[in-house]
Every structure is written in C-alpha cells, then in structure tokens.
Structure 1
C-alpha cells in the first residue's frame, strides 16, 4: 500500500519526503486555505518539486462544466496533477469527460460503496472513501474500504485505486492495508505517530545506558 501525505504545508511535505516513504500528496480547499497567503497554482508546483508522484488538486465548481474547465486547467500545471472531484452526479459527468481527455481524477467525499462503484464506472483513477468521517457517523469506516475493495476485485474492467482518506490515527493505516486499500493518505502528525512506540524509546535508552556503562 502506498502512503500519501494529506496536506498543503510545504514544510511537512519536505520533511516527510526526506523519510523516503511518500508516493504522493493530496490537497483540498481547506488545506490550501490553511496556508495563509498561498497561491493554489504555485503551491501545487512547489509540491511537485518535492514529491514525484500524484498530487490531488480539487475543483471548486459544483456543476460538471465548471469542474471540467477547472480540471483541464489544473492538469496543465504539471503531469502529476490528479483532479479531485466530489462524489455527486455532476461529478460523475465531469469524471467521465475528463477521462476522455486522458485526465486522471480522484473522486472524493465518498461515503458508500454505491458511490465508489459508479465513480469507477465513470472512469475515476482513484476513489477516496472518508473512513474517519464514516466512523463519526456511528458506522465502521473500515467496512466501507472492505466493501469497495471486494467490489472492484470482482470486476476485471475496474482499475480504480482505493485510497483511504480521513485517517485519524496509525491503526487506520494498518487496517487500510489489511483491507486491501491501494493508498492511505495521512495527516503529517499521524505519520509521525506511526513510527513511535514506547518500547522503541525504552530500548534505545537501555542500549545507550548499557554502552555508556561499559568498563
């Protein structure tokens, strides 16, 4: 399973990229807005200089024509740009048309397997189920990943990748991998937590203590 970083913060991307584990980056309007004064196009270009992999840039229009227009514009910024489209009927129209232009899409805000199936049939490159937000609604988000993976694997015509989004903690990463997700996109703090364990810290302390106490 590939690991993406879910952020528009260049310092976070630069740091995570230095670990050698990043395959891509996902952004959205909220993440871009958090970077005060950041220009959307410039930010995407700078991310592309840090990570050689898919970079999701989300459209703002609610109608298909607007999404298509924005998608064509964003895709011209860099070959690695993937166009993020919402899981709506207008979104399906946009995904289908962009696919005819050989523009890859990431269908976002997916909350049920039916949305995922239709997005795949429309030609989505990636589907992004929001497991954390599904958990918040009282339903197990990871079950959604399992359902989508099962549906996709039964249809040889579907090549859409399953991306676990809205990841809240390191266990979501592991469970996504076990469930068969192709990608997990994670906040920076979750990636840092994934490499922390008290027994690791304790072991390092013991090794150093033993070394320093040698005769």
Structure 2
C-alpha cells in the first residue's frame, strides 16, 4: 500500500518527506484554508518539497462542472506533472470527470461515502477514488468494507481506478485498510507517527542502552 500525507502544512511535509516513505501529498479546501496563505503559493511550496516525481492532489471549489473544469485547467498549468485534480463524486462532478479525462487530466474522485458513488466515478474514468473511511463509520457505515468492496468491484470489472482511502482517525483504520487490499491511503502526520509508536519498543531500546553502557560506557560502535 502506498502512503500519502494529508496536509498543506509545509513544516509537516518537510518532516514527513525526511522520515517517512510517502508517495505524495493530498489537500482539500479545509486543509488549505487552515494555512491562511495564498492558495497557489502554498501548493507550489509543497511541490518544491516533494518534487515532481511524487503525487500532489488538490481539490476544486466550484459546484458546477464547467467551473470545476476551469479550476482544474488553472491548477494543472500551475502545478505541472503528477498533479491530480480532486473532483467530488456528485452529478456535476461526474460530468467534470468525464470531460477532464477526455482532456487527459489525472483525476481523483473525492468525498466518496458509498461504494455506489465510487463505482460511478471509476466508470467515468477517475484514476483514484477516495472513500472517506472514518466519515462512513461515523454515519453508521463500514468505511473499511466500502474500500474493500470498491477494490473488489474494480478488479472484477477491469476498471483502472485505484483506491486512495482518506478520513482516518486512528492507526487501526489505516492498517485494516491495508489488509483490505486498498492501493493507497492518505493520513495526517500524527497518525503516520503513531503507527511507529509502541511502549515495548521504547523499553527494549532503554534496556539495550543500559546494557551497552554497563559494558562499554559512552563508547559508540565507531569508536572501536
């Protein structure tokens, strides 16, 4: 499974790019707005950090297909290759996805909260479909099963779309998503860091350190 970072915070992206095996960054209008900075300036800073080999996903704000298409054109012009325009899985969004794919845009269908929405988006040509795992759970559904069902139906019907699962609130959801066969997931930095944390790892390292110092003092391996 591929991991992306779900943020527009430049500091967090620099941290993640240096320490974690991320394959790109995803944003949305809410995430961007928290940075209180110019929209394109923020996205260009993100691009400069992750480079052109990694994916950058950014979302339209228009509600009508024509507006979505115009916004997508502007973003693609500004952000270059490996840019994925996020289009909501609505009636107008599906219309926009079909037109954008005819123009060879890379598209992520977002705000997907049912497998039926995701299937239509994939049939319209979306490269990625983003089920909102925790949001589905919060409203009485099963986010992991939705992602798994979409993975299965894409495979059975030979659709090229891939899952980019989103909206995670804990590490179990992320791991269960990986077990479900999802192609990728986008997570906040805190959840990415929490995936590495465990008190038994900390106590093991403390024991190793104590035993080493008892035998060798402050020497390091390079001192031998």
TM range (shorter): over 0.9
TM-score by length of 1: 0.96
Q: After the TM superposition, which of the residue ranges 88-97 and 131-140 deviates more from structure 2?
A: 131-140
Q: Does 1:4 align with 2:4?
A: yes
User: Which residue matches 2:98?
Assistant: 96
RMSD: 1.0
Alignment match of 1:152 (pick from 146, 154, 168): 154
Whole-Å Cα distance in 1 between the matches of residues 143 and 89 of structure 2?
A: 17
Matched, 1:174 2:175: yes
4+ runs deviating over 4 angstroms: none
What residue in structure 2 maps to residue 73 of structure 1?
74
Counterparts of 1:1-215 in structure 2, within 5 Å, are 1-36=1-36, 38-51=37-50, 52-77=53-78, 78-156=80-158, 158-214=159-215
Query: What is the CA–CA distance in structure 2 between the aligned matches of 1:39 and 1:194, rounded to whole Å?
Result: 32
Distance 2:121 2:136 in 1: 18
Q: Unpaired segments of 5 or more residues in structure 1? A: none
Largest Rg, 1 or 2: 2
CA distance in structure 1 between the aligned counterparts of 2:144 and 2:210, rounded to whole angstroms:
42
- For residues 139 and 116 of structure 1, the distance between their equivalents in structure 2, rounded to whole angstroms, comes to 15
Unaligned runs of 5+ in 2: 217-224
Q: Deviations over 1:88-112 (max 9, x none)?
A: 0000000000001110111111011
What SS does the aligned partner of 2:95 have?
helix
